[in-house]
Amino acid sequence: MKVMIVEDNFLMRLTIKEFLIELGHEVISETVNAEAALKAFVELEPEAVFLDLILPGKSGLEILDDIRKINKDAKIIIVTAIEQEEIDKKLSNKGVDAVICKPFSYEDFKKIVKSVIPCNS
């Protein structure tokens, strides 16, 4: 599956990318802010987006709204260190497919990803 990662932390972005490749996905874009993310989303048409909530400029919630306007069917997986019921409720109402809380293990990541998008391994 063609996947885009929106994450401003280099090490987290690298970890997500390596895990996705291990699971048989193609990472077609890695961005660190809203402007780059939305441009890449329109140009590359990823099937799934791994989206951090806390980013420079627009928040992940704002980017999520923009992505949904462009493609309501794209799979959205939020990757965040924020664990709050209020945030989870907002995300659920916005059509998020899954939430992965940082820090996470490969097995936790694999389980959540496989529940949302088909994996080749």
DSSP per residue, 36-57: HHHHHHHHH--SEEEEESS-SS
Taking residues 92-96, what's their average pLDDT?
76
Among the listed residues 43, 52, 42, the one whose alpha carbon sits nearest the alpha carbon of residue 6: 52
Domains with residue ranges and CATH for the chain:
2-112 (3.40.50.2300)
- Residue 57: φ, ψ to 5°: 80, -125
pTM, rounded to two decimals: 0.91
DSSP β-ladder status, 75-80 and 26-31: unpaired
pLDDT (tens digit, 9 = 90+) per residue, 23-62?
Answer: 999 999 999 999 999 999 999 999 999 999 889 888 888 8
Residues in the chain, how many? 121
CB atoms within 10 A of CB 6: 29
